[in-house]
């Protein structure tokens, strides 16, 4: 173990030195070859003086006079390089130590040159060129002046201590080299823990018996699994497991051995593991043992596990990975910096020292194995990114910038004193850059330090081919910008602009404002032609300690005065840039820019400006007018930092008594407390609305924080409130804070009666900035609210906050749509082409459905440009909720007039209408058929159809039924209906879809895959693929019999007429006998019965001994015989016309004594037409019918009328079918 470990350490040191010497010797080849032949030999160069820099503890040598190239060669022989100047402190130390050594003024060579590429300056030791101290108008444009020195005396306009570039061996004065002893630049790679990695797809030595894995690592956070390296698919590897070292000995991570010592964060640590298969294993941290490995865990897996990812992809999965967990899992990426990764055994070694410092490839020390860098960033050991800086200048363009994915392009601009504004923009140097919507790069900004993706002040992206960033009153110093391309960049242009303010007047030329003391009788005599300097009065406030707020206000008098306040110099209201500065510029990552000016203007003299979180300085105030202002008063109010900024200094509130006024700004925490006695039903803490934005947090017995609290309120504005029933007795602590600013707020804690939320299901109207609090609901319950907007708004915000539980909001309403998409498409397609008309810019209302974002009860919906009308809001309780508040706020637009609410889409055509329209419009010759030429233009649902698709019966012509069949196929039908109900592809409710009339059958509940009772376009597409067509255009009545075989194509109950009498078999009393024969036979039988009746009547009258029936009994009997019981008149009325016969019933003679008499209660109807149109009465129960296929008894009555009657059996009365 020991010899192996020592040998690898020596090998690493040797390889590192060899690489550095090789690189720098190559870098020096150009100047060495160009050295003047008359220069003295390097052996003649002497060390004149040696000193140790107390700031970095490095050793420096002053060389005798020589060229830059010769001095650089000597520096290497002294185990160093020509000096790298890192900052102003080191530059000044060099001047003080060497520029006047031995009382002789000496110009000093430093290690900076651009001999390799004009304008691309590099330090001799490879350190990125960041700090610079050029003299005036330097570096010069002379192509031969490639080497830099520090001027020890005035050189024209170059002052002592500043830099100048010279040729390699100037003949007009001597220059002395300064050597800095040390190893030179060292590089590392930083991995983001998300997807950064290095892939080495090369053959590696066989490490099956012995392996040592080592690396240098530096991590900010050691939690989780962070793989330093792994071979292939779950092969050997080394990683950090929650701070401890872990060795990959098999597939299961839970069985991997780990060290018994953890590494420190934020420092470079050497970690290693040594494995002798089946014999020995041990971890080391900084060379010290960190835990033995059990013998059973001393395996060296080959990385050929065969995981699903590798098997399914078909990849070899035999690469070596640095920065992630091998090929078998896209997981466990390393977060931090890695350097000097070495894998070795007793005979072979492979190592990656990362000496390149740039590019996407890195070479191994041995066998020149190459690794591909994917996303990892080149950094110096301190984490600073490696890049050559390019300076930006105000009002100058830097063009022709190019870069590849993953590059670090470094820029900086020097901000001078009194810079009031700074603007930096970037764009592509092409005419159509505006239409490029992709994010081309990320830009990171840092003041006074070089930023990166993990540490920066501000983050910006390039969208739509453009990036624009601005600062108000940026701090003096260097602003750095790093651009990281997301795709290859070409011809990028960067433009910067700085506005520098004029210095302020002398203080004795202005009026000082003292805290709380008004200055009265102020007058500005303006008017037409009055010079600007006579329209303004200047004041100042001398702030000598940190302030919470500084407020200046004007009031009283007459006329019109405006007000401004500024740090650094007096405000310039008459300049180009003034009066439009927002108090804060907010960004999700950078927080807020420091506010250094404020403006207030408008009619009258009552105005107020406020600055927050002030440091000691002079603050300048301007009162100005564009007209006149007479006898106004101006006063300043200083609010010092509050004393309750620590929990132990919390101010105890008196119940029911407001405390304040209060103000606050980002970063200021203010603590209060309230002692709650036993038996308190409800505790409420309320902020009386002032202005700005504030938040409240509460916790029992100890101070709350942003992440540790019991109750909180984060409603929009400064009127927050917390209230809850049955508070636990004791001291409740209150935290008041803001991410922006607030002012003129008072805080009140009070004890109230118990509050019980009641909701009866009626939607509750929300009013502007009027909260509804104390909301409670069990999980699964929905509460309904609504908002009525009288006119369009700039925005509509709906928020819930406070309490406990989890919920979600949904809002449905209309927004204003200006048709900008069509407008831009118009320009993109060329607005002069094809006579295309410009799209209308008139606003229309368009319905939207928006779901809230947030966590728990903190939910928010923001709708831009809401239209006038009603917004429906649904609060869905995902968990039990209590003490939740909801608030809506909006601002009406001053520029958009109310719009009409959009009409609900309706179905105006069905598939039959579509088929009819296509058939009639395409049938040019009007023959009722479509030829192949005519059918070419048939379009169904936007799709042109082939003739073979339309000609279903393949008779070389298309009839209407064939077009109808295609149009009403289930997929075409549902898409045609849905497109009418959703012209903009929005979801349609199942209720609306189900209310339509279809030719086919659809189950929309089965189609609703997300169970939201609404059908989307994608769900319709699935339904169209899976539906079954039940419609048949060739079966008009849908009885299953094709029209060509159906004698009754429009009657679903009939299809056959067996006896050919024109009556379908189902309605025919005798399907096999013609109805004419039945009618004739019936007539003959009726005549016979009448004759028999006459005979019977005569016989009865002639037989005296026969019992005489009374007339009613005789009539009853005749009724029964004629089947006309109590309905004799209706029988004749209902009887159909019979075939004409030579019968005249009126000629039949009746006996004089009229034995058959009409009952007194019978109604004789003489109007035959009314008898014919009267509603038929039910048949007598005595009549028998035929049994149909369903077991029902069926009867046509009266015969020949087509009126069908049915009953179950003879015990039931007849009913109309």
- Write out pLDDT tens, residues 1031-1061: 888 876 666 667 656 666 667 667 666 655 5
In this predicted structure, the answer to whether residue 779 has a pLDDT above a threshold of 60 is: yes
pTM for the structure as a whole: 0.54
Output the pLDDT for position 771: 86
* Better-scored residue on pLDDT, 981 or 902: 981
- Distance, in Å, from the CA atom of 275 to the CA atom of 345, rounded to the nearest integer, reads 9
Query: Where are the extended beta strands (E) located within 188-315?
Result: 188-192, 197-200, 210-218, 225-231, 237-241, 244-247, 258-262, 269-276, 280-285, 288-292
Spell out the residues 6+ positions from residue 324 whose beta carbon is closer than 8 angstroms to its own.
196, 197, 227, 230, 330, 331, 332, 333, 334
Output the pLDDT for position 1085: 78
- Distance, in Å, from the CA atom of 186 to the CA atom of 123, rounded to the nearest integer, reads 13
Output the pLDDT for position 200: 94
Output the pLDDT for position 186: 83
| Lowest mean pLDDT across 148-157, 411-420, 561-570, 1106-1115 | 1106-1115
Output the pLDDT for position 84: 94
In this predicted structure, the answer to whether residue 1160 has a pLDDT above a threshold of 50 is: no
Q: How confident is the model at residue 831 (pLDDT cuts 50, 70, 90)?
A: very low
Among the listed residues 473, 457, 444, the one whose alpha carbon sits nearest the alpha carbon of residue 568: 473
Q: How many CA atoms lie within 13 A of 755 on its CB side?
A: 19
Output the pLDDT for position 383: 84
Pairing of strands 1193-1196, 477-485: unpaired
Among the listed residues 663, 618, 638, 472, the one whose alpha carbon sits nearest the alpha carbon of residue 552: 638
Mean pLDDT of 1203-1208: 83
Helix, strand, coil share (%) of the chain residues, nearest 5: 20, 35, 45
- Distance, in Å, from the CA atom of 1204 to the CA atom of 1192, rounded to the nearest integer, reads 12
In this predicted structure, the answer to whether residue 1072 has a pLDDT above a threshold of 70 is: no
Pairing of strands 943-944, 939-940: antiparallel
Output the pLDDT for position 798: 95
Spell out the residues 6+ positions from residue 508 whose beta carbon is closer than 8 angstroms to its own.
none
Spell out the residues 6+ positions from residue 163 whose beta carbon is closer than 8 angstroms to its own.
110, 112, 132, 133, 134, 135, 138, 139, 148, 149, 150, 151
- Distance, in Å, from the CA atom of 1206 to the CA atom of 1189, rounded to the nearest integer, reads 13
Cα four-point dihedral sign 1206, 1208, 1214, 1216: negative
The answer to whether the CB of 375 falls within 8 A of the CB of 196 is yes
- Distance, in Å, from the CA atom of 629 to the CA atom of 559, rounded to the nearest integer, reads 4
Percent of the chain with pLDDT over 90: 45
> Tokens 């500005």 appear where?
524
- Write out pLDDT tens, residues 259-301: 999 999 999 999 999 999 999 999 999 999 999 999 999 999 9
In this predicted structure, the answer to whether residue 39 has a pLDDT above a threshold of 60 is: no
Q: How confident is the model at residue 818 (pLDDT cuts 50, 70, 90)?
A: confident
In this predicted structure, the answer to whether residue 8 has a pLDDT above a threshold of 60 is: no
> Tokens 């060495």 appear where?
32
- Write out pLDDT tens, residues 872-895: 999 999 999 998 999 999 999 988
Pairing of strands 617-624, 536-543: antiparallel
In this predicted structure, the answer to whether residue 453 has a pLDDT above a threshold of 60 is: yes
Beta bridge partners of 786: 765, 872
Q: Which segment, 281-290, 664-673, 761-770, 1070-1079, is predicted with the most confidence on average?
A: 281-290
The answer to whether the CB of 277 falls within 8 A of the CB of 208 is yes
Average model confidence (pLDDT) across the chain? 82
Output the pLDDT for position 911: 92
In this predicted structure, the answer to whether residue 1154 has a pLDDT above a threshold of 50 is: no
Give yes or no for a cis peptide into 1198 (omega within 30° of 0).
yes
Q: How many CB atoms lie within 10 A of CB 481?
A: 26
Cα four-point dihedral sign 1210, 1214, 1215, 1217: positive
In this predicted structure, the answer to whether residue 184 has a pLDDT above a threshold of 80 is: no
Domains and CATH numbers, the chain: 34-181 (3.10.100.10), 188-379 (2.60.120.200), 389-500 (2.60.120.380), 507-640 (2.60.120.380), 642-755 (2.60.120.380), 764-900 (2.60.120.380), 911-1026 (1.10.238.10), 1075-1216 (no CATH)
- Distance, in Å, from the CA atom of 1174 to the CA atom of 1168, rounded to the nearest integer, reads 10
In this predicted structure, the answer to whether residue 404 has a pLDDT above a threshold of 90 is: no
Q: How confident is the model at residue 35 (pLDDT cuts 50, 70, 90)?
A: very low
For every residue of 385-396, DSSP letters joined together read B---EEE--BTE
- Write out pLDDT tens, residues 500-530: 988 999 999 999 999 999 999 999 987 777 8
Sheet containing 597-600: give its strands across: 511-512, 536-543, 617-624, 562-567, 597-600
Q: What separation, in Å, do the N-terminal and C-terminal C-alpha atoms of the chain show? A: 105
Mean pLDDT of 998-1015: 89
Mean pLDDT of 578-597: 46
The answer to whether the CB of 148 falls within 8 A of the CB of 110 is yes
- Distance, in Å, from the CA atom of 198 to the CA atom of 973, rounded to the nearest integer, reads 55
| Lowest mean pLDDT across 104-118, 230-244, 351-365, 580-594 | 580-594
For residue 197, CA distances in Å to 243, 337, 360 come to 20, 12, 11
Beta bridge partners of 1178: none
For every residue of 1128-1154, DSSP letters joined together read HHHHHHHPPPPPP-S--GGGS---TT-
Output the pLDDT for position 802: 84
Output the pLDDT for position 705: 92
- Distance, in Å, from the CA atom of 325 to the CA atom of 310, rounded to the nearest integer, reads 13
| Lowest mean pLDDT across 209-213, 244-248, 427-431, 624-628 | 427-431
Calculated CA dihedral for residues 685, 689, 690, 691, nearest 10 degrees: 110
Beta bridge partners of 795: 864, 891
- Write out pLDDT tens, residues 307-364: 777 877 778 889 999 999 988 888 999 999 999 999 999 888 899 999 888 888 999 8
- Distance, in Å, from the CA atom of 564 to the CA atom of 1059, rounded to the nearest integer, reads 107
Output the pLDDT for position 437: 61
Query: Where are the extended beta strands (E) located within 791-942?
Result: 793-801, 807-817, 844-851, 853-855, 858-864, 869-877, 881-892, 929-930, 939-940
Mean pLDDT of 807-834: 67
3-class SS string, 466-516:
EEEEEEECCCCEEEEEEEEECCCEEEEEEEEEEEECCCCCCHHHCEECCEC
* Better-scored residue on pLDDT, 168 or 1074: 168
Output the pLDDT for position 525: 86
Here the tokens at position 426 are 């970037």
């Amino acid at each position: 173990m020991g010899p192996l470990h020592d040998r690898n350490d020596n090998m690493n040191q040797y390889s590192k030195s060899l690489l550095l010497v090789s690189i720098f010797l190559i870098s020096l080849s150009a100047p060495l070859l160009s050295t003047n032949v008359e220069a003295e030999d390097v052996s003649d160069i002497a060390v004149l003086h040696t000193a140790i820099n107390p700031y970095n503890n490095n050793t420096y040598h002053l060389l005798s006079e020589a060229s830059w190239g010769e001095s650089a060669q000597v520096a290497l022989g002294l185990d160093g390089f020509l000096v790298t100047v890192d900052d102003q402190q080191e530059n000044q130390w060099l001047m003080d130590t060497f520029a006047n050594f031995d009382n002789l003024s000496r110009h000093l060579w430093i290690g900076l040159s651009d001999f390799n590429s004009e304008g691309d300056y590099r330090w001799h030791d490879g350190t990125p060129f960041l700090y610079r101290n050029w003299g005036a108008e330097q570096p010069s444009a002379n192509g031969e002046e490639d080497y830099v020195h520090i001027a020890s005396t005035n050189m024209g306009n170059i002052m002592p201590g500043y830099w100048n570039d010279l040729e390699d061996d100037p003949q007009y004065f001597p220059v002395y080299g300064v050597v800095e002893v040390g190893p030179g630049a060292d590089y590392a790679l930083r991995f983001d823990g998300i997807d950064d990695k290095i892939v080495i797809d090369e053959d590696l030595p066989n490490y099956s018996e012995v392996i040592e894995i080592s690396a240098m690592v530096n991590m900010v956070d050691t939690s989780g699994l962070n793989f330093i390296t792994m071979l292939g698919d779950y092969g050997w590897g080394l990683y950090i497991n929650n701070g401890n070292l872990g060795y990959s000995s098999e597939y299961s991570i839970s069985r991997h051995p780990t060290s018994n010592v953890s590494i420190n964060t934020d420092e470079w640590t050497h970690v290693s593991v040594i494995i002798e298969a089946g014999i020995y294993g041990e971890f080391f941290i900084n060379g010290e043992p960190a835990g033995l490995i059990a013998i059973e865990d001393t395996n060296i897996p080959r990385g050929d596990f065969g995981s699903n990812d590798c098997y399914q992809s078909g990849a070899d999965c035999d690469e070596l990975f640095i920065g992630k967990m091998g090929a078998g899992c896209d997981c466990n990426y390393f977060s931090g910096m890695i350097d000097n990764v070495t894998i070795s055994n007793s005979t072979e070694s492979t190592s990656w020292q990362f000496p390149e410092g740039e590019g996407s490839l890195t070479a191994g020390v041995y066998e020149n194995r190459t690794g591909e860098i994917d996303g990892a960033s080149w950094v110096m050991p301190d984490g600073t990114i490696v890049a050559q800086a390019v300076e930006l200048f105000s009002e100058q363009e830097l063009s022709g910038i190019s870069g590849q994915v993953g590059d670090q392009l470094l820029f900086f601009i020097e901000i001078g004193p009194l810079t009031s504004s700074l603007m930096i923009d970037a764009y592509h140097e092409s005419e159509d850059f505006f239409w490029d919507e992709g994010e081309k790069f990320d830009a990171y900004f840092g003041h006074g330090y070089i930023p990166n993706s993990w540490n920066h002040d501000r983050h910006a992206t390039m969208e739509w081919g453009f990036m624009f960033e601005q600062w108000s009153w940026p701090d003096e110093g260097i602003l750095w910008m790093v651009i990281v391309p997301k795709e290859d960049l070409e011809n990028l242009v960067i433009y910067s602009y700085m506005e520098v303010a004029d210095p302020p007047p002398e203080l004795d030329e202005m009026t000082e404002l003292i805290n709380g003391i008004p200055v009265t009788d102020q007058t500005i005599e303006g008017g037409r032609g009055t010079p600007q300097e006579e329209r303004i009065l200047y004041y100042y406030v001398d702030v000598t300690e940190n302030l919470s707020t500084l407020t200046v206000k004007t009031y009283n008098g007459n006329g019109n005065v405006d007000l401004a306040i500024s740090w650094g110099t007096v405000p310039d209201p008459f300049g180009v840039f003034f009066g439009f500065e927002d108090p804060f510029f907010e960004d999700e990552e950078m927080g807020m820019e420091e506010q250094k000016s404020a403006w207030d203007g408008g009619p009258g003299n009552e105005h107020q400006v406020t600055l927050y979180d002030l440091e000691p300085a002079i603050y300048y105030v301007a009162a100005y007018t564009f007209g006149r202002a007479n006898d106004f008063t101006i006063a300043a109010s200083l609010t010092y930092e509050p004393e309750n900024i620590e929990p132990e200094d919390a101010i105890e509130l008196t119940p029911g008594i407001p405390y304040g006024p209060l103000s606050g700004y980002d970063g200021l925490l203010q603590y209060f407390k309230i002692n709650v006695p036993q038996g308190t039903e409800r505790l409420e803490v309320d902020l009386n609305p002032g202005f700005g934005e504030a938040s409240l947090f509460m916790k029992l017995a100890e101070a709350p924080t942003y992440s540790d609290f019991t109750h909180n309120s984060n409603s929009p504005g400064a009127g927050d409130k917390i209230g809850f029933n049955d508070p636990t007795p004791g001291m409740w602590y209150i935290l008041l804070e803001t991410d922006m600013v607030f002012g003129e707020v008072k805080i009140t804690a009070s004890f109230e009666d118990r509050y019980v939320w009641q909701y009866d299901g009626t939607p509750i109207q929300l009013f502007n900035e009027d909260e509804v609090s104390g909301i409670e609901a069990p999980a699964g319950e929905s509460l309904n609210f609504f908002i009525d907007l009288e006119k369009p708004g700039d925005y509509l915000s709906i928020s819930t906050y406070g309490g406990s539980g989890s919920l979600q909001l949904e809002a449905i309403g209309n927004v204003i749509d200006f048709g900008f998409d069509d407008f831009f498409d118009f320009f993109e397609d060329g607005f002069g082409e094809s006579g295309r008309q410009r799209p209308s810019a008139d606003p229309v209302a368009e319905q939207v459905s928006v779901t809230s974002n947030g966590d728990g009860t903190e939910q928010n919906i923001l709708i831009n440009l809401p239209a006038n009308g009603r917004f429906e809001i649904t609060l869905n309780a995902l968990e039990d909720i209590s003490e939740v508040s909801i608030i809506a706020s909006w601002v009406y637009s001053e520029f958009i007039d109310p719009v009409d609410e959009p009409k609900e889409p309706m179905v105006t055509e069905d598939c039959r209408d579509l088929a009819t329209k296509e058939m009639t419009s395409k049938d040019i010759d009007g023959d009722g058929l479509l030829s192949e030429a005519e059918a070419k233009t048939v379009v169904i649902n936007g799709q042109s159809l082939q003739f073979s698709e339309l000609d279903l019966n393949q008779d070389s012509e298309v009839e209407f039924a064939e077009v109808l069949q295609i149009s009403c196929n289930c997929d075409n039908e549902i898409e045609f209906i849905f497109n009418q109900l959703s012209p903009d592809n929005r979801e349609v409710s199942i209720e609306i879809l189900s209310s339509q009339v279809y030719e086919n059958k659809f189950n929309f509940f089965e189609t609703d895959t997300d169970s939201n009772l609404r059908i989307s376009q994608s769900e319709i597409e699935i339904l169209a693929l899976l539906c079954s067509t039940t419609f048949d255009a060739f079966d008009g009545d849908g009885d299953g019999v094709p029209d060509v075989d159906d004698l009754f194509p429009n009657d679903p109950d009939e299809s056959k007429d067996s006896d050919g009498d024109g009556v379908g078999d189902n309605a025919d009393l005798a399907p096999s006998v013609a109805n004419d024969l039945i009618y004739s036979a019936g007539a003959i039988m009726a005549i016979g019965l009448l004759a028999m009746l006459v005979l019977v009547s005569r016989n009865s009258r002639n037989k005296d001994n026969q019992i005489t029936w009374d007339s009613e009994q005789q009539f009853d009997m005749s009724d029964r015989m004629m089947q006309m019981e109590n309905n004799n008149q209706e029988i004749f009325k209902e009887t159909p016309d019979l075939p004409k016969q030579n019968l005249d019933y009126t000629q039949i003679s009746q006996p004089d004594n009229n034995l058959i008499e009409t009952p007194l209660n019978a109604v004789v109807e003489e109007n035959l037409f009314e008898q014919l149109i009267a509603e038929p009465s039910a048949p007598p129960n005595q009549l028998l019918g035929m049994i149909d296929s369903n077991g029902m008894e069926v009867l046509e009555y009266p015969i020949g009328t087509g009126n069908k009657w049915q009953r179950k059996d003879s015990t039931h009365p007849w009913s109309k079918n």
